[in-house]
């Protein structure tokens, strides 16, 4: 295995970390109008992710920087070809971040409800579009001999990619509901557990269908095995939430989301962005940076990645306790 393969695997791990951590953030935001019966309960839900959501988004910044440095041709083609959906994702993430910070800046019901809508939209839209984007990456797109995207925006809205969007939305909603059942107490915890059980069954069927369809886009024995394990682990997460074991359920759902991500990368390898004409595909070889660049990146990652993991783990440890309406002070 050379450094191009190492960095392909590293980028897969970074996406896995992003989808696991930001996934429950998206799920909590999407469930605001479903689980919260008033402003106090909405504040409880938001407070469960308040200390960690911005740290979770760092994984997206890191994976973008790693792709730019390790596979510049992949980065250039991906972000220019998928410009409109990527712009929509960026704008919704910006609005979502502003909603977290501005929601409590004015003592007005109308003000808070407006920012709540931004938070909901900023959670649902990226959750769908990331699945659509990865569906197209695995399926392959129209690239010319210069590796420029020559398709249209509507080509990206194909059935397989749309199924990918529904799958990621269902996964993140269930993941978020399990997280809420783990982090809250009282009525919110009960409602979140019940919803996670129902959403988990739907997500399981979507995951199974999406991963089976994915195998027709370059699957191998490894990707098939990973897909089967992902579905089994997801079933264990649903079983755990059914018996009230929120900790085990959250662990299993996190592992399952990670396995789904790794399965897609296993289907993709050795391509990084397949083309309809295989001769024009971007691979780990023709899209990679120079060997010197990859060596420098490897040493930087070895030195700094442990520090990031230690810091983020410490953050989760500090804010590990359950919260409920009793923790929300009266008044604004």
> How high is the pLDDT of residue 108?
86
Cα(128)–Cα(123) distance, integer angstroms: 9
Residue 230 near residue 259, CB atoms below 8 Å? yes
The mean pLDDT value for 148-155 works out to 89
pTM given for the model: 0.94
Q: 302: closest CA among 292, 312, 294?
A: 294
| Helix/strand/coil for 125 | helix
Which pLDDT tens digit goes with each residue over 222-261? 999 999 999 999 999 999 999 999 999 999 999 999 999 9
- Please report, to the nearest 10 degrees, the dihedral formed by the alpha carbons of residues 176, 181, 182, 183 taken in order: 80
Average pLDDT estimate for 37-64 = 92
Place of tokens 């409880």: 44
State pLDDT tens for residues 16-36.
Answer: 999 999 999 999 999 999 998
The pLDDT value recorded for residue 331 is: 61
Q: For residue 149, give every residue at least 6 positions away whose Cβ sits within 8 Å of its Cβ, in sequence order, or none.
A: 77, 80, 81, 82, 141, 142, 143
Buried b (16+ CB within 10 A) or exposed e, 28-51: bbbbbeebbeeeebbbbbbbbbee
Residue whose structure tokens are 């979507």: 206
Domain boundaries, the chain: 3-186+272-327
d(CA 246, CA 179): 8
Contacts of 310 (CB under 8 A, 6+ apart): none
Judging by beta carbons within 10 Å of its beta carbon (0-12, 13-18, 19+), is residue 58 exposed, middle or buried? middle
Confidence of residue 328 (pLDDT cuts 50, 70, 90): confident
CB neighbours of residue 90 within 10 Å: 12
What is the tens place of the pLDDT at every residue in 103-148?
888 888 899 999 999 999 999 999 999 999 999 999 999 999 998 9
In order of 57, 78, 96, the CA distances from 261 in angstroms are 17, 18, 24
- pLDDT of 326 reads 86
Cα torsion through 261, 266, 271, 275, rounded to 10: -70
**Over residues 289-295, mean pLDDT:** 93
Of 45, 317, 308, 309, residue with least CA distance to 177: 45
Contacts of 286 (CB under 8 A, 6+ apart): 73
Reported as a pLDDT band with limits 50, 70 and 90, residue 218 is confident
Mean pLDDT across the chain: 93
Burial class (CB in 10 A: 0-12, 13-18, 19+), 64: middle
Q: Are 126 and 95 in contact (CB under 8 A)?
A: no
Q: Cα(162)–Cα(140) distance, rounded to whole angstroms? A: 14
CA atoms within 13 A on the CB side of 216: 6
332 pLDDT above the threshold of 60: no
Q: What is the pLDDT of residue 107?
A: 85
Please give the share of the chain, as a percent, with pLDDT higher than 90: 84
């Amino acid at each position: 295995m050379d450094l191009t393969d190492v960095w392909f695997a590293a980028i897969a791990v970074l996406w896995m970390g992003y989808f696991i951590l930001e996934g429950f953030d998206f799920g909590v935001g999407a469930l605001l109008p479903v689980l919260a019966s008033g402003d106090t309960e909405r504040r409880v839900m938001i407070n469960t992710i308040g200390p960690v959501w911005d740290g979770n988004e760092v994984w997206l910044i890191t994976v973008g920087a790693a792709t730019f440095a390790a596979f510049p041709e992949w980065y250039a083609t991906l972000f220019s070809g998928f410009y409109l959906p990527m712009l929509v994702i960026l704008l919704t993430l910006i609005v979502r971040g502003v909603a977290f910070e501005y929601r409590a800046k004015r003592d007005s019901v109308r003000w808070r409800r407006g920012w709540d809508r931004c938070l909901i939209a900023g959670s649902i839209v990226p959750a769908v579009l990331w699945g659509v984007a990865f569906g197209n990456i695995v399926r392959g797109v129209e690239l010319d001999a210069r590796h420029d995207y020559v398709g249209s925006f509507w080509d990206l809205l194909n059935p397989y990619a749309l199924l990918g969007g529904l799958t990621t939305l269902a996964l993140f909603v269930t993941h978020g509901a399990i997280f809420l059942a783990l982090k809250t107490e009282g009525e919110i915890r009960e409602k979140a557990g019940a919803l996670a059980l129902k959403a988990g069954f739907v997500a399981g069927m979507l995951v199974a269908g999406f991963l089976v369809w994915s195998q027709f886009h370059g699957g191998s024995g490894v990707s098939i095995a990973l897909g089967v394990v992902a579905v089994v682990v997801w079933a264990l997460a649903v079983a755990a939430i059914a018996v009230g074991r929120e900790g085990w359920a959250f662990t299993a759902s996190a592992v399952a989301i990670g396995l789904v991500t790794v399965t897609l990368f296993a289907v993709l390898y050795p391509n990084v962005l397949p083309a309809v004409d295989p001769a024009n595909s971007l691979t780990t070889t023709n899209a990679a940076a120079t060997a010197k660049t990859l060596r420098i990146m490897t040493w930087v990652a070895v030195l700094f990645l442990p520090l990031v993991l230690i810091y983020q783990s410490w953050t989760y440890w500090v804010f590990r306790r359950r919260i409920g309406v009793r923790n929300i002070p009266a008044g604004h």
